[in-house]
Structure 1
Amino acid sequence: MQAPSTTLLAPLLAIGLSAATALPAQDVPLLSRIFGNASFSSSSSLTTKEKRVEINLTTQQLKAYQGRRLVMQTKISSGKNRGTPTGSFRAGPYKNKEHYSSLYDNAPMPWSIQVTGHIFIHGYSIVPEFPASHGCIRVPISGRNPAKRLFEWLDVGTPIKIAY
């Protein structure tokens, strides 16, 4: 017989609850096995259900929060030569799972979420842990595909903060 949290995970995700919110702290290792490159943690005190994304260009890390709870953390690769803008943004309005670059020879940008102008958070097959893009924020599509997980979790209008 499966543990209750394992049995309940799929239906909870299907109705829009995050796995980290739905499972108790002792099941955090289970989340890592399910979602691969993305990492999760658990917290019992929530003051808000609001989602937000924080991107640290110094550490090349993206963290996604629901209230105070860290629901996802993954490596990223930002723009070379400070090509990624810093500041506070809102996701969208453009969000497309099969976007192609209008600037760089129709380069595929799966799981794209617009940050501002031509700057997107999107999936990419090669994500070194140093700045390597033209300005976009690359998220891995390898392993359990954190780019897809972020795309599915994030709503248009979700706050995104990018800083060093």
Structure 2
Amino acid sequence: MPVRILALVGSLRAGSHNRQLAEAAAKHAPEGSTVDIAEGLAELPFYNEDLDVEGSVPAAAVRLRETAAQADAFLLFSPEYNGTMPAVLKNAIDWLSRPYGAGALTGKPVAVVGTAFGQYGGVWAQDDARKAAGVAGGAVLADVKLSIPGSVTRFAETHPADDAEVVTSLTEVLRQVAEAAPTAA
């Protein structure tokens, strides 16, 4: 059975380079693993414990939790907004952190990668996403990193899936995530 990696993309923009990076991950998943991109993050209401009540959890949150429960590992793609991760990614992490101690992230490998326009490729945002995912129960792979700077120019005419350097680095990240998944043991 293949290792199922769920990608959460922290950008909702139609032409998002992080979305394209997730598409590249799905296209170049190593043998024995698959990468699915979580859809519908824009429909998630902001996490509110008053909404997170059995029988009335918003449909978008139920779908995300069900999809995440099927995953063996997670790969988060984060751009950098004002020096940190986007609210959409933090909100998805918040929904997946519940119920406390038994959320869909609990105990599963999580790696964070991404691309941003700045010279450091979004490292602050990615560090914040690692912290949030770890607090939420994920088994963060702290040494599995990929930060691609200059996204606006680098990917202006080239999809990340067609950038040989990116594909090589991303494939290595995916290999490490897949190897850390419990089903790979």
Same fold judged by TM-score > 0.5? no
Higher helix share: 2
When the two structures are superposed, what TM-score results if normalisation uses the length of structure 1? 0.27
When the two structures are superposed, what TM-score results if normalisation uses the length of structure 2? 0.24
